[in-house]
Structure 1
């Protein structure tokens, strides 16, 4: 006698629910040879479906041994059992167990996907099988578009997809009319004639009569076995090692494009839920993009305004903790001599003295309060502030105390809105000044001061004819090499300190350091905005996890179908992970587009916006990571479902 393809020795199966134990099978001994046509018949609750699950390696026995081709399957892990199912067993279920979101061809292809067959090859074979079963015109139909008999034929084609040598049919005619039932039984007989081992599970004696061998089961025990009609030598049977591992290297489901297609099909089947899931990711990503663009724009605007004020400057101002008063009672002790001393320091390009006051200016019948700055010719170069029209003050104007003025754009608009101010006279106090130039528009400082609301006059003119004091408001020291700014600052300090007889009644501000501090502050502000936006992305991620958990619960039977057709743990894990990542990636892409669009709208209405690749890549990367992180738990749950429990889910 040849070695049986399947041998059960003392098989028992007990289900436990806490302390409650229910024994379904007891001491089952059974041999099934390659090429047998066996009917296992019994009433509902007799244990026949459990026996089918054990025979098809969907479940493990509690006691006894299951030998396949002479080798014990007890040593196989879940993935090896899945590979054995994929290569050896084909299941034909009473309720068909077709994937509702897939058409007939896609349903038939499922086992071949997990067997690692190329897409073109499995597609051609699926169409060939369906056509041979009379469904050539139904290849693109979904299960709800097929009759019961047609769905059962699709189920049979799926069972044959990987050329399974053992067909397990659970009540194959139970849900069919008599004509369709006869057609299915004839198909099974034809398949048996081609050398397939067919095992039919039924409660109907008429159905069982089509088999060559009848086994009756009652209360978990075999009570009758008619025996084989045609015992004899069978073809040599490959062992478990070859059956379980054949094609293992290609059955890794590594075809990412196929995984993405399956994910898109599943997401399309629940479009409304998918849209709700996308919404959380879209809002989160768009928020990150907009917030970071606004934050970076604000930072850039502040930096540019400070840069416009001059980053190669040291600003010397009067006043210090140990300041001393001048003879006139003022705490301002800076003089033009201090500026001259600072100008002699290495790396100093110019030291520009400035004196400032406020005064009423008048042109015709219009007057206004504005800032008056007395300075020298080097001011334009030191502050990088050119003249738009006319000329600036020169050294000759300063030497002869000339009553000439250069005005800012705001002053020009306020006093001369309807005409060119060049060559006109304006009164500062009671002194008439000839306007010789108009400065280029500068804008507001980062703290909101209008830099264009100013009038420039020669330093000597300001100190003698307008203010009456020699003391300066500040000295702007222009340096050449910014890398030497700290050393230059200290040298200027020591020089002025010596000029003040060792009394440090002044302070020096390095504009480069100020720029760094402001940029650092703005970076912190940007991070804060990004963190707030990231919270919404986190909420979106939690939404992805919740939806995916619901998805797993609703698709439990589909997971069972995939496991029955050969899906390994990693296959199910990958599928649901890919679905989560696809949702997040699509949501991330939409969120990026909407975020950029909204940021562009804000820019159109005057908000400072800076578009850089960093925030966009960060937001999209976070969305992608969200899919991986929050999709893992649902995917892990799906991958570790029990095949039998999953198949029986509603």
Structure 2
């Protein structure tokens, strides 16, 4: 039935654009949380072949001295068995310097983060991601002062990070624990010769490419070969945003085709209605109805069909969107989008209902009255 066809279009458009806006905002939020000046450095095998390069502490010291670089943060991380009393779980143990919250624009919810002195002194302290706190200490309002066994080494809990969630292409930050970089190398990752990657922050947003080129040139000079990779966080997220925009446009095209099919359905049903009510039209014309009156009657009927379908479609779209929010899918509803989807359905009914209405208005009264 045409109402069903047309109600699916506003429903589809409302959900599609709400999800599209939600995912777009999610990427934008990630760009804000990661920062548009962030780059990632890690070693790799040269394009011409050979062993994987090694990033030494001297390399990192030289990179940090570059005027184009604001700060650097070496990171080591792997899933490690973490225990507390009778609870044990594989947790991603994130070893980094004390500047991690500053680099990632992240706040501590309880307690504090470790200091530069604690990092330098190999202090066995740990800061929990929010989900780790809930998993290991559900009975405590504040776990500061408790101990976790990370691998075979005990660490004292000194803080809990604010809830953050998963970021696109990354693990869930809430399901990690954070320890000082040097303590991590000495107590947990003893066999690790170099960081897994290095987070680099450019001095300014407009100098990211200059900073990347400077780091690449410096390490090429020091290593004598191109055995490093540099990735740009903002560029990666921008590419994801463009991909999602492309998918939204493609799905929007599908919605447009559905709208066209629904409009043709309205036109066909209204033509059948005109044929079935030919005698009624003839009686109205014989009693003084003008062509304009007949045209208006059938246009109003076509619009009522699409208004009902559009209203039901928008309501169903809101219900589906609410369910998606419940399932933690990013969705942002827009009043303008809902009005636009509803208007598209009504305008489609008006356009495709015009031909049947015009056919009814042009009937010859004599012929119409003689029909059965």
TM above 0.5, one fold? Answer: yes
TM range (shorter): 0.7 to 0.9
Are the counterparts in 2 of residues 284 and 535 from structure 1 also a CA contact under 8 Å?
no
Q: Does 1:472 align with 2:218?
A: no
Q: Does 1:361 align with 2:82?
A: yes
1:448-498 CA distances to partner (integer Å, 9 max, x unpaired)?
Answer: 733233232222222344324441111112235434433433333333333
Name the structure 2 match of 1:492.
Answer: 215
TM-score by length of structure 1 reads 0.51
Name the structure 2 match of 1:380.
Answer: 101
1:324/1:368 CA distance change after superposition, 3 Å = farther
Aligned partners of 2:12, 2:218: CA distance in 1, in Å? 53
Aligned partners of 2:175, 2:325: CA distance in 1, in Å? 26
Aligned partners of 1:380, 1:551: CA distance in 2, in Å? 68
Are the counterparts in 1 of residues 67 and 203 from structure 2 also a CA contact under 8 Å?
no
* Paired residue secondary structure (1:477): strand
Are the counterparts in 1 of residues 68 and 210 from structure 2 also a CA contact under 8 Å?
no
1:480/1:626 CA distance change after superposition, 3 Å = farther
Are the counterparts in 2 of residues 340 and 351 from structure 1 also a CA contact under 8 Å?
no
Q: Say which of 116, 139, 143 aligns to 1:421.
A: 143
Are the counterparts in 1 of residues 137 and 143 from structure 2 also a CA contact under 8 Å?
yes
Are the counterparts in 1 of residues 101 and 107 from structure 2 also a CA contact under 8 Å?
yes
1:643/1:616 CA distance change after superposition, 3 Å = same
* Paired residue secondary structure (2:174): coil
Counterparts of 1:268-283 in structure 2, within 5 Å, are: 277-283=2-8
1:332/1:453 CA distance change after superposition, 3 Å = farther
Are the counterparts in 2 of residues 388 and 438 from structure 1 also a CA contact under 8 Å?
yes
Aligned partners of 1:429, 1:594: CA distance in 2, in Å? 50
Are the counterparts in 2 of residues 332 and 471 from structure 1 also a CA contact under 8 Å?
no
Name the structure 2 match of 1:292.
Answer: 17
1:241-281 CA distances to partner (integer Å, 9 max, x unpaired)?
Answer: xxxxxxxxxxxxxxxxxxxxxxxxxxxxxxxxxxx653432
* Paired residue secondary structure (1:443): coil
* Paired residue secondary structure (1:452): helix
TM-score by length of structure 2 reads 0.83
1:580/1:368 CA distance change after superposition, 3 Å = closer
Q: Say which of 13, 19, 40 aligns to 1:315.
A: 40
Counterparts of 1:151-550 in structure 2, within 5 Å, are: 277-301=2-26, 303-305=28-30, 307-322=32-47, 331-346=52-67, 348-419=69-140, 420-447=142-169, 449-466=171-188, 467-479=190-202, 481-501=204-224, 503-534=225-256, 536-550=258-272
1:436/1:499 CA distance change after superposition, 3 Å = farther
Are the counterparts in 2 of residues 334 and 473 from structure 1 also a CA contact under 8 Å?
no
1:611 CA displacement: 0.1
Name the structure 2 match of 1:551.
Answer: 273
Aligned partners of 1:589, 1:484: CA distance in 2, in Å? 51
Aligned partners of 2:329, 2:152: CA distance in 1, in Å? 43
Aligned partners of 2:28, 2:207: CA distance in 1, in Å? 21
1:332/1:366 CA distance change after superposition, 3 Å = farther
Are the counterparts in 1 of residues 267 and 353 from structure 2 also a CA contact under 8 Å?
yes
Are the counterparts in 2 of residues 320 and 507 from structure 1 also a CA contact under 8 Å?
no
Q: Say which of 591, 608, 621 aligns to 2:313.
A: 591
Are the counterparts in 2 of residues 316 and 508 from structure 1 also a CA contact under 8 Å?
yes
1:382 CA displacement: 0.5
1:395/1:364 CA distance change after superposition, 3 Å = same
1:430 CA displacement: 3.3
Name the structure 2 match of 1:576.
Answer: 298
Greater displacement, 541-550 / 334-343: 334-343
Aligned partners of 2:355, 2:155: CA distance in 1, in Å? 79
1:623 CA displacement: 0.6
1:545 CA displacement: 1.1
Q: Does 1:613 align with 2:338?
A: no
1:558/1:416 CA distance change after superposition, 3 Å = closer
Are the counterparts in 1 of residues 34 and 103 from structure 2 also a CA contact under 8 Å?
no
Unaligned 5+ runs, structure 2: none
1:407/1:286 CA distance change after superposition, 3 Å = closer
Are the counterparts in 1 of residues 295 and 361 from structure 2 also a CA contact under 8 Å?
yes
Number of aligned pairs? 369
1:57-106 CA distances to partner (integer Å, 9 max, x unpaired)?
Answer: xxxxxxxxxxxxxxxxxxxxxxxxxxxxxxxxxxxxxxxxxxxxxxxxxx
Greater radius of gyration (CA): 1
- Higher relative CO (Cα under 8 Å, sequence separation at least 6) belongs to 2
Are the counterparts in 2 of residues 537 and 623 from structure 1 also a CA contact under 8 Å?
yes
1:279/1:385 CA distance change after superposition, 3 Å = same
1:529-573 CA distances to partner (integer Å, 9 max, x unpaired)?
Answer: 4445555544432331122102211332444456564735x6654
Aligned partners of 2:318, 2:79: CA distance in 1, in Å? 45
Unaligned 5+ runs, structure 1: 1-275
1:643/1:620 CA distance change after superposition, 3 Å = same
Are the counterparts in 2 of residues 314 and 476 from structure 1 also a CA contact under 8 Å?
yes
Aligned partners of 1:366, 1:595: CA distance in 2, in Å? 43
